[in-house]
Chain A
Amino acid sequence: MKNLFGRSLFGRTWLIAVFIFLYIPIVTLVVYSFNDSRLSTAWTGFTFKWYVDAAHDRELIDGLIISLKLAFMSATLSVIFGTFTAFVLVRYGRFKGRGMLASMANAPLVMPDVIVGISLLLMLVAMQKWLGFPERGIGTILLGHALIGTSFATVVIMSRLREIDHHLEEAAMDLGCKPFQVFALVTLPLIAAALVSAFLLTFTLSFDDVVIAAFLSGPGSTTLPLVIFSRARLGLDPSINAVATVIIVVVSIGVIASSLYQLRAGRRRQREVAEAYAQVKN
């Protein structure tokens, strides 16, 4: 093919160069988690001691447990409210306030985290003043994460809802299903894969966030990113590299496994469709 970047040497070089740029920091994190020296970034020898250190580091372990809990709860709430938002926006046609709902759902996608953090914190402080609750802690971080998560989950679920054939829902309705039955028995199974993707995405968003958590955390709710961030500000800490390596390995296995699964599921679906088509033709 004759075009500017085509399958040329230039194209390949560019591709490889950008991939190196994307992966160099990750490789560095992993390599230095096995480096013996604490102070210098020079390679002085192979060691596992930072993993041992990290495993005995109460602050890191507590942070990890808090972050995992938080991410799980946030992803659950996000998927629930994201499903509601997406369903209302896609299936309910026009109604009063639709534009407002759409922009409220879109805003957190593009709003800088500092703004989300500050505005929620000011509201919580005002609430505390007038109502006496809530105390800042995991619950308040959860509100912030679930807000961001709802927006992202809405986008993922909306695109799937648009794809599925609404005739299936209409058919169920014609056959006497109540609206709730249609949703539970027809719509939900059809969007199940999107719900899983939305859950994984919002879990990751919560597990990664440092800015919103910094604003909304209280005593006893120091998440893993908050611990890492406060240490990273001071300098380099090899036990962070050890934690990073563990996270990278877990995430990579997850991402590779899920894309393999999706690839297989896609092929199986294609084959099934082809077989069904062949049967109809015969």
Chain B
Amino acid sequence: MMFKSILPRIHGLFTVRNLVIAVPMVWLFALAAAPLLLVLDISLAHMNITSVSSIWHWADDELTLKFNFGNYLYLGDDSLYFKTYLSSLTFAAVTTLYCLVLGYPFAYFIARAPAHLRSVLLMLVMLPFWTSFLLRIYAWKALLSDNGVVNQGLAELGLVSSPLHMMHTSFSLTIGMVYAYLPFMVLPLYATLVKLDGRMLEAAADLGASPFKTFWLVTVPLTKRGIIAGSLLVFIPAFGEYVIPELLGGPRTLMIARVLWDEFFSNNDWPMASAVTIVMILLILVPMALFNRYNDETKLGDKS
């Protein structure tokens, strides 16, 4: 009796459609979701001398779960972590702001360029993006070091008597971050700016709005979407950036990814590293949700 009712249901599960759905489902679950669940699990464990304790205990036919919130409490206690999270958020915010200030007029001018020039200019924006990110960051070391290109140029011009100390400061870190993430800001901005209806701007001007007023009251609101997308595409990865602070930052430019790296490789404290990771994820969940909402909105917008 039972088999008769279950069998067709099982059979119905293995349709071609379901198998096709299963392929990306299993692949992404195994590589994206399962590891994160494991990180959550380990963050609630503690470190025995060489191995990680388990939060799952099986004894006397009973499964008990032991959560150790010690790692999270320690994160709250030690002001270094708080300072580092705060400093990472600040660097990410400053990077986003500079990218916006530099990138908006830049994208605007590309979008207003004659059509045949536009594709060439866009290609020039994309070209550095295709060449190694690591090498381009490395290049800034040669530019900004005490006997580097910039200091030599300044000395040549007689502007400085002793070299400016720029490497391994928040200055070099910010320059590197703005440099690396600028294209991520420019491309979404360009995408909204190029669709901007020039007649709207003419109408505003005809009605007596000053160029500044037109820009602020017409152009900016119409390109809000590009501004939000670009800012998130810069802010989120900048917050978790490791390579740039490692190569261009200094001992005083605290970034959370470096602390995480050290916790993992130098201190070998995996539960602590996992707790740091979980808090990082919680901190980027808000901008991530915004990003997803923006994505959904544009999808809906495409259909209409």
Contact = CB atoms under 8 A, between A and B. Distances in A.
Q: Are A and B physically bound partners?
A: yes
Interface of A: 1-7, 11-12, 14-15, 18-19, 21-26, 28-29, 32, 40-42, 81, 84-85, 87-88, 92, 95, 97, 101, 103-108, 110-115, 118-120, 122-123, 126, 143-144, 146-147, 150, 162, 179-180, 204, 207-208, 210-211, 225, 228-229, 232-233, 235-236, 240, 243-244, 247-248, 251-252, 254-256, 259, 263
A22 B179 contact: yes
Interface string B256-293: 01001100100000100110010011001001100110
Chain A to chain B: the 5 pairs with minimum beta-carbon distance, closest first: A112-B240, A25-B139, A119-B35, A85-B24, A104-B28
B211 A4 contact: yes
A225 B32 contact: no
12 contacts: A1-B198, A2-B211, A3-B214, A6-B112, A21-B179, A22-B124, A32-B142, A85-B24, A107-B32, A108-B32, A235-B141, A240-B138
Given A28-B149, A110-B284, A179 B273 contact: no
A162 B152 CA distance: 53
Contact of A103 (B16, B237, B239, B292): B292
Contacts of B239: 112
Chain B at the A interface: SS class: helix
Contact of B112 (A1, A81, A180): A1
A135 B16 CA distance: 34
A119 B24 contact: no
Interface in B138-188: 138-143, 145, 147-149, 152, 179, 182-183
Contact of A112 (B24, B105, B280): B280
A119 B135 contact: no
Contacts, number: 239
A119 B277 contact: yes
Chain B interface size, as a band, is 35 or more
Nearest to A162: B302
Contact of B28 (A112, A150, A229): A150
Nearest to B287: A110
A85 B28 contact: yes
B36 interface: yes
B1 interface: no
Given A1-B198, A41-B152, A208 B132 contact: yes
Interface stretch (B59-67, B77-85, B242-250): B242-250
B21 A95 contact: yes
B143 A101 contact: no
A264 B48 CA distance: 63
Given A85-B24, A112-B239, A22 B182 contact: yes
A5 B112 contact: yes
Given A22-B179, A87-B20, A123-B34, A114 B242 contact: yes
Nearest to B31: A147
B32 A123 contact: no
Nearest to A6: B112
A240 B131 CA distance: 14
B125 A22 contact: yes
A88 B21 CA distance: 6
A107 B237 CA distance: 12
Contacts of B2: none
B147 A41 contact: yes
Given A112-B239, A114-B242, A122 B274 contact: yes
A256 B39 contact: no
Given A5-B108, A11-B105, A251-B131, A150 B27 contact: yes
Given A41-B145, A104-B32, A105-B24, A29 B182 contact: no
Contacts of A18: 102-103, 106, 182
A204 B126 CA distance: 13
Interface of B: 16-17, 20-21, 23-25, 27-29, 31-36, 38-39, 42, 102-103, 105-106, 108-110, 112-113, 119, 121, 123-128, 130-143, 145, 147-149, 152, 179, 182-183, 198, 201-202, 205, 211-212, 214-215, 219, 232, 236-237, 239-243, 246-247, 257, 260-261, 264, 270, 273-274, 277, 280-281, 284, 287-288, 291-292, 295, 302
A210 B27 CA distance: 23
Contacts of B219: 3-4
Contact of B39 (A6, A108, A119, A236): A119
Contacts of B149: 28, 41
A2 B128 CA distance: 32
A120 B128 contact: no
B149 to A, nearest CB: 6
Contacts of A104: 28-29, 32-33
Contacts of B27: 81, 84, 150
B284 A101 contact: no
Contacts of A21: 102, 179, 182
A115 B108 CA distance: 35
B35 A123 contact: yes
Contacts of B102: 18, 21
A144 B109 CA distance: 38
A179 to B, nearest CB: 7
Contacts of B236: 110, 112
Contact of B105 (A1, A14, A108, A208): A14
A243 B132 CA distance: 11
